[in-house]
Structure 1
Amino acid sequence: MDIEIVNAVVRWIDSNCDKPLKIKEIADYTGYSQRHIHNMFKKIVGTTLGKYIRQQRLCIAATKLKMTSQPIIQIAYQLNYDSQQSFCREFKKMFRVPPNTFRKQDLWDFSSYIVPFEFDLPELPKILFDNLNEQKLFGYEVNYDTCFTHHINEINPLHIELIIKNFEIYQDTIFSLVDKRPSHTNKNLVSVTAFIGTKNSGHRPHQCLLQKNITPGLYLKTTFYGTWKEYGILISRLYRHVLPGYKLKRRNARDIEVFNYSDEISLSDTALFYCDYYIPVIR
């Protein structure tokens, strides 16, 4: 019973991290006294409620630094710090470098992220590490801006439509090389660039195709089978749970999606499909 209450508290915190949370509000949410919820939380999670909230806010800040061009002072105020100075001081304590340095680093270091506490999540698919060689792909590239979310990889409906459209065209395994970085047009948005294609240059007239190479090197890999909603949850967990859990650094290369061809895949909430997902990493 206690662990279920704490899990509900953690999810409530995750949804309200950008608000000035107080333990009294959390106690009111659960119906328990402040002292009881504080003791229960510390016993199960292993840290105090206040410290957990601060840590998760700083993890959100780190992700915003990498995925948006929001000024540091804006990020600080969004996460309820009373000044840029206090935010920078706390950030450096946790991530060992100032926010501006973290933003400019070529690698995205997940080793200081704190894995969110959740006990009732479904088991993850097997996590592997795979060295990929350079491979030529033929296809086309699309670009669009999307809203920032600290869950990192909620699947954009446009991306799903593009995958399905290319299944219909190619009737073959589809590769998607996805890059996410700060938008050039809006400091609050994330720019997504996706190269979508196959290994076969003969599917379309050559002049209509772009060539893109898979960046060689080490990748974290997992194989997924399920629905689009479950796929979005998986990618979020890879970034929020697996990369921090393994203390990994993400290389400056594109994530790779490899969709196995199926003539049954669709936009339906119940449609099932297979996909291998790769994240470029350094161990």
Structure 2
Amino acid sequence: MNQINIISDLIKWIEKNLEQPLSIDAVAEKSGYSKWHLQRMFKKVTGQILGTYIRHRRLTHAALALRLTSKPILDIAMQYRFDSQQTFTRSFKRQFNVTPATYRRNDLWNPAGLTPPIELQKIQISLPEPTFANFPEQEFWGITYKNNCDLNTLINKNTELRKQFFNDYLAKTFNNKRTLPDKIYSFSRLVKSKDKDNQDEQELLYSIAIEEQNISENTKKIVSSGGLYLCFKYVGSPASFIDFMNHVYFSAIPRLNVQLRRAEVIEIYRNHDNVSRLGNITEINVLDCDYCIPIVSLD
């Protein structure tokens, strides 16, 4: 096995065990190499220091937990293997320039400091330049799906709800022999759990809507608050959408001089000709959409 495969497998194992003890000795034992040889190999293949990478990935997960859950800061520190809240606070401030308490409390979310996982064996996604768009407050008509999820299953749940909608909505459209609208919108947002016994969970609300009230009898009015958005174009398979979102949040946005505000994420789907020609809606293999994130520009 070559060095890239060795390190790639090790990174996957690290990602699954960020909440477990990950001393250099423990990681070296897992790899089967001496810690000195492993650290040299990791630096050669990735350009990063092994211990620093593990710490940055733990702090990135901790940052997401601070913004997306109600879990106490001390519990988050212990979850990601910091020996005290004070140690966690010092490390967190070095990476994000603010304390964990401030990071959670701020209305705006500064994505600078989030560290993406290293993916050596995946084709790197090249995103087109994002565009800024000012959306007006607007009424739509659609259906909202709800699901509770924890931080580790958040993106997968979002994907499941998106798939559920397209199956349900397109089936109804074709059964009623309707023409698909030029644009289909989705709005997703997270609501922190108010259940003290489930502070790790959040409620994911995924609404799918169009500009006319003609989906079904279950349609309800959905109001988009509008404002400034950063929009990324995506054309690709549904299966690759997760990689696309990870690249947007962990690689693209932290390099821009923007902060995220608390509002719904908007997906705008276009070009449905390929869908209308399908004999079975599960055959959809290309999504064409703008993925729009609510932001405040600091320029």
TM-score range, shorter-chain basis? 0.7 to 0.9
What does residue 213 of structure 1 align with?
A: 224
**Counterpart of 2:5 in 1: which secondary structure?**
helix
Contact preservation (8 Å) 2:82, 2:88: yes
**What is the identity, as a one-letter code, of the residue corresponding to 2:131?**
F
> Are residues 1:176 and 2:186 paired?
yes
Normalising by structure 1, what TM-score?
Answer: 0.87
Q: How does 1:16-95 map to 2 (within 5 A)?
A: 16-95=17-96
Q: CA 1:145–1:164 in 2, change beyond 3 Å: closer, same or farther? A: same
Contact preservation (8 Å) 1:67, 1:180: yes
Match of 2:292 among 274, 278, 281: 278
Q: How does 1:88-107 map to 2 (within 5 A)?
A: 88-107=89-108
**What is the identity, as a one-letter code, of the residue corresponding to 1:24?**
D
The 2-side partners of 1:120 and 1:203 are apart by 42
Structure 2 stretches of 5 or more lacking a match? 174-179
**Counterpart of 1:275 in 2: which secondary structure?**
strand
**Counterpart of 1:116 in 2: which secondary structure?**
coil
CA drift at 1:214: 5.4
For residues 14-36 of structure 1, give each alpha carbon's deviation from its aligned partner in whole angstroms, at most 9, with x where no partner exists.
11111111223322333322111
Contact preservation (8 Å) 2:189, 2:264: yes
The 1-side partners of 2:122 and 2:168 are apart by 32
**What is the identity, as a one-letter code, of the residue corresponding to 1:259?**
Y
What does residue 142 of structure 2 align with?
A: 139
Structure 1 stretches of 5 or more lacking a match? none
**What is the identity, as a one-letter code, of the residue corresponding to 2:261?**
R
**What is the identity, as a one-letter code, of the residue corresponding to 1:281?**
I
CA drift at 1:156: 4.4
Contact preservation (8 Å) 1:183, 1:190: yes
Contact preservation (8 Å) 2:169, 2:215: no
Match of 1:238 among 231, 248, 272: 248
Runs of 4+ in 1 over 6 A off after TM superposition: none
> Are residues 1:195 and 2:207 paired?
yes
**Counterpart of 1:82 in 2: which secondary structure?**
coil
**Counterpart of 2:40 in 1: which secondary structure?**
helix
Q: Percent identity?
A: 25
What does residue 260 of structure 2 align with?
A: 250
CA drift at 1:141: 2.8
**Counterpart of 1:281 in 2: which secondary structure?**
strand
The 2-side partners of 1:85 and 1:121 are apart by 37
Contact preservation (8 Å) 1:166, 1:174: no
CA drift at 1:2: 2.8
The 1-side partners of 2:46 and 2:269 are apart by 37
**What is the identity, as a one-letter code, of the residue corresponding to 2:191?**
R
Normalising by structure 2, what TM-score?
Answer: 0.83
RMSD: 2.6
Contact preservation (8 Å) 1:138, 1:209: yes
Number of aligned pairs? 279
CA drift at 1:3: 3.3
Contact preservation (8 Å) 2:191, 2:203: yes
Moved more, 192-201 or 153-162: 153-162
Q: CA 1:36–1:247 in 2, change beyond 3 Å: closer, same or farther? A: farther
